[in-house]
A and B are shown apart, each in its own frame.
Chain A
């Protein structure tokens, strides 16, 4: 396991590359879902007639 984590001494380059990429994958998932949730909430507000015109874009 330790040997695996050290990647033959090159861990300093391999792991950050994986960390950056997987972080961007994760952020994309959170980002897309939160945009959809916001759009749904804005549409619900519009439908219930409580929003000011032009709001929620």
Chain B
């Protein structure tokens, strides 16, 4: 097997150009999917027989929560690649993830709180799922704070990368918290073994929203990654052509 693809992925000019070419595809596909998902979730999906229209919070809550975990996992994997193979581009990708992940973790907590206020009669409870998701927000903020506190970019990469990798232990804890402990939060209805516990008219808009948010993350990551690369490759000669286009 040839490893040239791996070496190309480590090349900042190659990644910069590739990111620029791919961003519009991911961005417009995300926009289309999110619009379809919103229409499906708000208009086409039938009201829930127990929760009425309140369950429609699902279509923004679940994608935000999915983002919070998926972005963190991406960040940890990128940081691990950066630490193991000393790949600058991987560190740049990890650094690009944090603010995106933190903002969607915040969205998951706020939308969950609104839903909980209706369904559980409480805005917040120190429940395993809620608490572990809050810890995820703190991990993101800690990662960003640590990066901001270290002037030298390579030392910042190593220290924050280590934090990201260690913190990934929280991801399965969040996912399985509703199975392992008695939680107010419901168990997974989609990402579980066997058939999803939802009729297709409810499930399809959710899957479309999840796909749309995933592509949105890809587009956001690629845009931020280009900025990170430009800030790191201060002297490289290819930058002149890249920024004058």
Using a CB–CB distance below 8 Å, which chain A residues touch chain B? 4, 7-8, 10, 13-14, 16-18, 20-22, 24-25, 27-29, 31-33, 35-36, 38-40, 42-44, 46-47, 56-57
Task: State whether B231 touches A39 (Cβ < 8 A).
Answer: yes
Task: State whether B54 touches A36 (Cβ < 8 A).
Answer: no
Q: How far is the CB of A53 from chain B (nearest CB, A)?
A: 10
Contact of B226 among A21, A36, A46 (CB under 8 A): A36
Chain B neighbourhood of A56, CB < 8 A = 231
A4→B115 CA distance, assembly (Å)? 18
Task: State whether B110 touches A20 (Cβ < 8 A).
Answer: yes
Task: State whether A28 touches B56 (Cβ < 8 A).
Answer: no
Residue B240, interface by CB 8 Å: yes
- For the complex of A and B, list the 10 residue pairs with the smallest distance between their C-beta atoms, beginning with the closest: A39-B227, A21-B60, A39-B230, A32-B223, A17-B111, A7-B53, A36-B227, A35-B227, A17-B57, A8-B53
Contact of B56 among A7, A20, A39 (CB under 8 A): A7
Instruction: Say whether chain B's binding surface is mostly helix, strand, loop, or mixed.
Output: helix
Chain A neighbourhood of B54, CB < 8 A = 7, 10, 13-14
Chain A neighbourhood of B224, CB < 8 A = 32, 35-36
Task: State whether A28 touches B220 (Cβ < 8 A).
Answer: yes
User: Besides the contacts A16-B114, A17-B60, what 6 more A-B pairs have beta carbons closer than 8 Å?
Assistant: A8-B53, A18-B42, A21-B61, A42-B230, A42-B231, A47-B240
Chain B neighbourhood of A18, CB < 8 A = 38, 42, 60
Task: State whether A8 touches B226 (Cβ < 8 A).
Answer: no
Say whether, besides A4-B43, A21-B107, A32-B223, A40 and B231 are in contact (CB < 8 Å).
Answer: no
Task: State whether A8 touches B52 (Cβ < 8 A).
Answer: yes
Q: How far is the CB of A55 from chain B (nearest CB, A)?
A: 10
A8→B146 CA distance, assembly (Å)? 46
Contact of B230 among A16, A28, A40 (CB under 8 A): A40
Task: State whether A43 touches B52 (Cβ < 8 A).
Answer: no
Q: How far is the CB of B127 from chain A (nearest CB, A)?
A: 19
Chain B neighbourhood of A57, CB < 8 A = 231
Residue B34, interface by CB 8 Å: yes
A31→B219 CA distance, assembly (Å)? 12
A36→B63 CA distance, assembly (Å)? 25
Contact of A21 among B64, B100, B118, B223 (CB under 8 A): B64
A29→B53 CA distance, assembly (Å)? 29
Residue B149, interface by CB 8 Å: no
Chain A neighbourhood of B42, CB < 8 A = 4, 18
Chain B, range 79-133, C-beta contacts under 8 Å to A: 99-100, 103-104, 106-107, 110-111, 114-115, 117-118
